[in-house]
Amino acid sequence: MKPKNVVTIGLLMFVGACIMVLTVKALRPSAPPPVAANPAAAAGVGSPEAEEPMDDGVIAYYFHGNTRCPTCRAIESYAHEAVQAGFAEQLESGKLKWQVVNYELPGNEHFATDYEIFAPTVVVVEISDGSQQEWKNLDRVWELVDDKDAFVQYVQSETETMLQGTSG
C-alpha cells in the first residue's frame, strides 16, 4: 500500500472517530448547569425581575446561557470593566445599571427573542418613563474579544450613545 493511501485512511479514521465522539456527547443527557460563583446570582438576585424598575436611564445587560466558556466569561469581564471604568458616575446616580442575566433560566427565555440573542452578548437598553424605547445588541463583542482595548472602546461608545438618547 502506498504511503499516501495509508495517510488518507488514517485521516478518515480520525475524522470518523471525532464524529462518533461528538455524536455520543450530543446524545448524552446534559449535565445540570454549573453552580454560579456568585451565590446571589444562583439565588436569582440580579435577574431583571428582581430589580426595581427604572424610570429613565440605560440598562447594560450581559446575557449568557447555562454553558459558559472562557470566551463568554471574558466578554462578561471586559464589558463589566468597560461599564464600571467609563460610567462610574452614571452607575452611582442610577442613570445606568449593569445586569447579568442567564437567558436560559425559566422566565428569562423571552430575552432571547426580545433582543435577538443567539449567543452570550451585551445589550444596551434605553428606558424612558418606565418603558423600553430603544435597544442595541452589541454583537461585535465576539469579533473584538481578542483586542481588549477595542472591545472596551466599543462597549463604552455604544453605551454612551444610548445614554445620550436618554438626556434629549
State how many domains the chain has. Answer: 1
- Give percent above pLDDT 90 in the chain: 56
Domain-located, residue 15: no
Helix (H, G, I), strand (E, B) or coil at 46: coil
Per residue in 13-39, pLDDT (tens digit) is 777 776 876 676 666 554 333 333 333
- Give percent above pLDDT 70 in the chain: 79
Q: Which residues of 118-142 are buried (b: 16+ CB within 10 A; e: fewer)?
A: eebbbbbbbbeeeeeeebebbeebe
Domain-located, residue 67: yes
Domain-located, residue 27: no
Range(s) of the domain holding residue 139: 39-166
Instruction: Output 63 or 23, whichever has higher pLDDT.
Output: 63
Mean pLDDT score, 145-161: 95
Which pLDDT value is given to residue 42?
38
Domain-located, residue 31: no
Mean pLDDT score, 83-91: 95
Domain-located, residue 125: yes
Which pLDDT value is given to residue 43?
35
| pLDDT of 9 strictly over 90 | no
Whichever domain contains 162, its CATH number is 3.40.30.10
Domain-located, residue 77: yes
Confidence class for position 89, pLDDT limits 50, 70, 90 = very high
